Amino acid sequence: MKYFPIYLDAKHIDAMIIGGGEVAARKIELLLKSTANISVMSETLNSSVQRLVNEHQLTWLKHNYQPGHLNNSNIVIAATDSIEVNGAVAAESTQLKLLTNVVDQPELCTYITPAIIDRSPIIIAMSSSGSAPILLRMLREQIEKTLPNGYGKLAEFSFKFRDHVKARIKGLRDRRTFWERTLRGNIGQAILAGETTLAEQQLIASLKTQTPPPSGEIVFIHTGDGNPDHLTLYAHREMQFADAVFYDKEVNTDLIEYIRRDASKYPQDIASNILINVQHVLDLAEQGEKVIYLLSGTIELPENKTLAQSPIPKKYIYSGS
Ligand SMILES: C[C@@]1(CC(=O)O)c2cc3[nH]c(cc4nc(cc5[nH]c(cc(n2)[C@H]1CCC(=O)O)[C@@](C)(CC(=O)O)[C@@H]5CCC(=O)O)C(CC(=O)O)=C4CCC(=O)O)c(CCC(=O)O)c3CC(=O)O
Ligand SMILES: NC(=O)C1=CN([C@@H]2O[C@H](COP(=O)(O)OP(=O)(O)OC[C@H]3O[C@@H](n4cnc5c(N)ncnc54)[C@H](O)[C@@H]3O)[C@@H](O)[C@H]2O)C=CC1
């Protein structure tokens, strides 16, 4: 990664925008989503910036760029239409080690602005590392369409009941299972539909009934050509909830990126069309783990009695072409 993503606590932001045109207005509007601690330095402001300054009582330094005004800022944005002025601002700002953004000149930026999907408190920030801002905007629009508006409400709900659930369900793994079931199931649907009171009642009721220990299962995924782009949505979702993953050396390891990050990984030396590590898989599933076994190609599994006779639920998914 050329750029490292972080989230800044807005109450510590003190931003200085140099310039008062269209780009300045866009950057100010973005900052205003989280803070009004913004100063603008430019002799003239266009009508959009003027309106933002008035409406949000921003500080306006009514002169063009002069060095020596950046000491109280921690974010500096150079948005004038002069390459020379923007360059001078960047030189001063980076010397002071401030976060610096220069429109049109990524090479002078010490940070770049991501495309943002705001479902507060869920905030998705995306970057193309400066390679394709317009493509990035298109991607953002595509993801926005698929992400329910009320998604943030799921997070608010989790936050509200987090301590309560922590006190009631002791183990981390059981809590994870509880939350996954809650948010994916009826309660999650109720929250998204705006029926928060109903969701709260259901959650309290489900906490009262003893939560059963998570039941393990084994999911075999035939990965076909191994191209991650060819994963089916179904396979993808199963992989996101894995506790453990097995894969042999013929499986494309890029697929491991799509497995839940905390899942334990068990690479195997023998191709899965010859032998699969049944006993180990069954042991983990019997302890309640969701085990994913990635198989290369589409070849049938070798016959195995122990596996066939085990009561552990099994799924077989063909994914990838
Ligand atoms: C490096 C970066 C520096 C920075 O600004 O921080 C940068 C640079 C440049 N942008 C250019 C053009 C446009 N940028 C946009 C829009 C966005 N640009 C944003 C970010 C970034 N832009 C940073 C990289 C982020 C990354 O890659 O991760 C977004 C995400 C965030 C934001 O700015 O708020 C926001 C989309 C928000 C959204 O909708 O979600 C549009 C409008 C549109 O797409 O409709 C136009 C067309 C304007 C026009 O010409 O009309 C050009 C000239 C390219 C050329 O001329 O070819 C350069 C310079 C260059 O690339 O060299
Ligand atoms: N409008 C857009 O969407 C995009 C613009 N750009 C580029 O970004 C730059 C700025 O664009 P706009 O905001 O549209 O231009 P603009 O012409 O609307 O605004 C420029 C602003 O800079 C101010 N300014 C000029 N010299 C200054 C100085 N010495 N000190 C302080 N302020 C000064 C002006 O008073 C004016 O408010 C241009 O170089 C443009 O090519 C790049 C991508 C998109």
Q: Give 138-157 pLDDT, tens digit per residue.
A: 999 999 988 888 889 999 99
Question: Dihedral through CA 26, CA 32, CA 35, CA 37, nearest 10?
Answer: 60
ipTM: 0.89
pLDDT at res. 237: 82
The C-alpha atoms of residue 17 and residue 112 are separated, in whole angstroms, by: 14
pLDDT at res. 253: 92
In DSSP notation, 83-102 reads: HHHHHHHHHHHHHTT-EEEE
Beta strands 244-248 and 99-102: pairing type?
A: unpaired
Q: Can you give the CATH number for the domain in which 270 is found?
A: 3.40.1010.10
Which ligand neighbours the alpha carbon of 46 most closely? 2
- Max mean pLDDT range (83-97, 180-194, 272-286): 83-97
Same domain as 299, residue 224: yes
Q: Give 219-229 pLDDT, tens digit per residue.
A: 999 999 999 99
Which residue spans within the chain are E strands per DSSP?
15-18, 38-41, 59-61, 75-78, 99-102, 115-119, 122-126, 217-222, 244-248, 264-268, 290-295, 314-318
Atom of ligand 2 nearest to the CA of 25: 13
Pocket around ligand 1 at a 6 A CB cut-off: 26, 30, 101, 103-104, 106, 109, 112-115, 127-131, 133-134, 136-137, 140
Domain count, the chain: 4
- In a domain, residue 2? The reply is no
Q: Give 233-287 pLDDT, tens digit per residue.
A: 889 888 988 899 999 889 999 999 999 888 999 999 988 878 888 999 999 999 8
User: Domain range holding 202?
Assistant: 151-207
User: Which residues, in sequence order, are CB contacts of 143 under 8 Å at separation 6+?
Assistant: 117, 124, 126
Q: Is the pLDDT of residue 116 over 70?
A: yes
Q: Is the pLDDT of residue 66 over 90?
A: yes
pLDDT at res. 177: 83
Confidence of residue 212 (pLDDT cuts 50, 70, 90): low
- In a domain, residue 6? The reply is no
pLDDT at res. 89: 98
Start-to-end CA distance of the chain, whole Å, equals 30
User: Which residue do the tokens 């990984």 mark?
Assistant: 265
104 lines ligand 2 (CB under 6 A): yes
In DSSP notation, 59-72 reads: EEE-S---TT--TT
Nearest to 226 by CA among 264, 270, 258: 258
- In a domain, residue 46? The reply is yes
Same domain as 227, residue 302: yes
Sign of CA dihedral 47, 52, 53, 55: positive
78 lines ligand 2 (CB under 6 A): no
pLDDT at res. 211: 60
- In a domain, residue 5? The reply is no
- Whether pTM exceeds 0.90: no
Q: Which of 62, 90, 113 is the last residue of a domain?
A: 113
